[in-house]
Amino acid sequence: MPYVAEKPRLAPSSEELRARIPGWGVDLDPKDRPAVPKENFNPSATGARWDFPERQTEKWSRERSIEHKFLPPVFGTSCPPQGLSGAVRRYAYRYSEARASHWLLLMGADRINVLESRIQALLSGRPDSRIKQTGVLSEFTHRGVQSRFGRGRADTKHHWIDAVGFVAPYAFVAGAAYMLLRSRANKQRRQQQ
Q: Among the candidate windows 97-105, 167-175, 176-184, 185-193, which touches other proteins by CB under 8 A?
A: 97-105
The size of the interface with other proteins (CB under 8 A), counted in residues, is 102
Give the burial class of 109: count Cβ atoms within 10 A of its Cβ; 0-12 exposed, 13-18 middle, 19 or more buried. buried
Q: Find the helix or strand (DSSP H, E) in which 147 lies.
A: helix 144-148
Residue 170: phi, psi to the nearest 5? -65, -45
Q: What is the nearest approach in angstroms of other proteins to the Cβ of residue 14?
A: 6
**147, 114, 149: which is closest to 133 by C-alpha?**
114
Nearer to other proteins, 53 or 175 (CB): 53
| Member of 157, 160, 163, 192 binding other proteins (CB under 8 A) | 157
3-state secondary structure 114-131: HHHHHHHHHHCCCCCCHH
CA 150-156-159 angle, to 5 degrees, is: 135
Nearer to other proteins, 5 or 192 (CB): 5
Whether 84 contacts 116, CB under 8 Å:
yes
Q: Is 84 in the site for other proteins (CB under 8 A)?
A: no
| Member of 19, 73, 84, 119 binding other proteins (CB under 8 A) | 73
Q: Of 164-193, which residues contact other proteins (CB under 8 A)?
A: 165
Q: What is the nearest approach in angstroms of other proteins to the Cβ of residue 29?
A: 9
Q: What is the nearest approach in angstroms of other proteins to the Cβ of residue 94?
A: 13
